[in-house]
Structure 1
Amino acid sequence: MPKLQLYDKLLQFPMFQGMSRADLLQMVTHTRLDFVKFPEGKRILKTGERCDRFYFLINGALKIETASEDHGYTVSEEITAPYIIQPECIFGLSLRFRSTVQTLTDTNLITIDKKEIVNLTENFIVFRLNMLNMFAMNIQKQILTQWQSPPKSLEERIVRFFSVHCQQPTGKKTVSIYMERLAAEVNDSRLDISRALNKMQNEGLLQLSRGRITIPALEKLISGI
């Protein structure tokens, strides 16, 4: 990949923003960047696999599927470039991916080994600060979610359940869950859940099938309630 194009690709990601061309040139020269291409329908990562590198999606689209701890329901998301696949998994108590990742189109990724990431944090203060800001921002989002006002209606509780289980608040989502389980998750009856979901379906906000709820655009569902 030409250097100028590579710089532009890297600057799409928050941890490289603010780095000068000189810093990027030094980084590219002294850091091992692996360029990987996957065809459509290829599984890249599996839940439980050890996270030992960053995966930067620079072209294409992915499906990211995450299951509940007891595998009682799953949430699938369609993610497009640019995107970093669960960077928080490279540090901390659990060093394993929480989701299974599969390509929806031909995709291109850049991967950087954990040792190289540590070297970058030591050698480039902007990169180190960007890393800290990225992790701090994710923590702050979680704290804000915990302190939000409680939902005022069943529809709002259902939408809150969907949104807190998604990695991005936009785009297409597919939730594989039975109404009995969703009723238990939001503390309501199956009948009321059915009525609320059918109401949202009639409004064009989601689509229902047996054991599956398809949300064409989560942002529209959030704003439509």
Structure 2
Amino acid sequence: MLYQQLSQSPVFRGISPEDLEELLSNAQFQIKKYTKGDMIAFREDRCENLMIVLKGSVKGEMLDPSGKSIKIEDIMAPYPIASAFLFGQRNQFPVNVTANDEVEIFSLAKASVIDLFMENKVFLTNYLNSISNRSQFLANKLMFLNFKTIKGKLANYILKLAAPDKSEITMPKSQSEMAQFFGVTRPSFARSLKEMEQEGLIETNRREIKIINKQQLIRLLQQ
């Protein structure tokens, strides 16, 4: 069961459960369990293990200068946690990591990760792709957080979903989830969405959004 789960993870994809069992036979690893709300790692804790979610999901959060918690992302099974921060001079967790529900995590020692790099080219390639994708995600997230207004963030989000030429989109999250993603209260998010509709920028129907004035949405990015 364990090796079947791990074979679905991006870092082990393409390696059969049977080959994984043999590959990990001499590796140092643990299976750790957490309950909802448990803190798995604090920001700036040392990252000394490759951690892969086997069951449930976790969330990464950081605090802005005012002390408000901003959710960066949810990480579902079977994805790795902070794989891009296992190496480097400051190999520390960039965010607080908390369990969203009942969670099981596969934790592989850093020394064993290095051994696997030398033993298996597929694992090495997968790992490099994983950390490259994560770096791109974080770069996009930082650009997103740079927008100072809720409308600017919302305009950026809508335009990205609509790229390259859509005029209608479906929001993948509820208003409560979007507010948490933006780091604002739900009433503030709902008010900004309503104002954008009243100003003739968009039309909304539950999660369905139709772009009415794309140029004005683009101008919001500059505010």
Q: What is the TM-score normalised by the length of structure 1? A: 0.64
1:189 aligned partner: none
**Contact 1:49 1:96 survives alignment (8 Å):** yes
1:56 aligned partner: 52
Return 5+ residue gaps in structure 2 as ranges. 161-170, 198-202, 212-223
Task: Name the aligned partner's letter for residue 134 of structure 2.
Answer: N
**Contact 2:75 2:81 survives alignment (8 Å):** no
2:70 corresponds, among 68, 75, 79, to 75
1:163/1:14 Cα in 2 relative to 1: closer, same or farther (>3 Å)?
A: farther
Return 5+ residue gaps in structure 1 as ranges. 183-192, 206-219
- Secondary structure of 1:58's counterpart equals strand
CA distance in 1 between partners of 2:31 and 2:91 (Å): 23
Question: What per-residue deviation string (whole Å, max 9, x for no partner) do you get for residues 94-120 of structure 1?
Answer: 211111122221111110111111111
Q: CA deviation at 1:79?
A: 3.7
Task: Name the aligned partner's letter for residue 95 of structure 1.
Answer: N
1:35/1:135 Cα in 2 relative to 1: closer, same or farther (>3 Å)?
A: same
2:111 aligned partner: 115
**Contact 2:59 2:75 survives alignment (8 Å):** yes
Runs of 4+ residues over 6 Å off in structure 1: 142-147, 161-164
2:132 aligned partner: 136
Q: Aligned pair 1:91/2:87, yes or no?
A: yes
1:109/1:144 Cα in 2 relative to 1: closer, same or farther (>3 Å)?
A: closer
Task: Name the aligned partner's letter for residue 127 of structure 1.
Answer: F
**CA-based RMSD:** 4.1
Question: What per-residue deviation string (whole Å, max 9, x for no partner) do you get for residues 100-143 of structure 1?
Answer: 12222111111011111111111111111111222233345567
1:44/1:21 Cα in 2 relative to 1: closer, same or farther (>3 Å)?
A: closer
Question: What per-residue deviation string (whole Å, max 9, x for no partner) do you get for residues 47-92 of structure 1?
Answer: 1111111111111122321223x35543224443222111111112
Q: CA deviation at 1:40?
A: 2.2
2:3 aligned partner: 7
Question: What per-residue deviation string (whole Å, max 9, x for no partner) do you get for residues 3-30 of structure 1?
Answer: xx12211112111111245531221211
Quote the sequence identity (%): 22
**Contact 1:56 1:110 survives alignment (8 Å):** yes
- Secondary structure of 1:14's counterpart equals coil
CA distance in 2 between partners of 1:56 and 1:94 (Å): 20
2:123 aligned partner: 127
Task: Name the aligned partner's letter for residue 46 of structure 1.
Answer: F
**Contact 1:72 1:177 survives alignment (8 Å):** no
CA distance in 2 between partners of 1:56 and 1:29 (Å): 17
Count of residue pairs brought into register by the alignment: 186
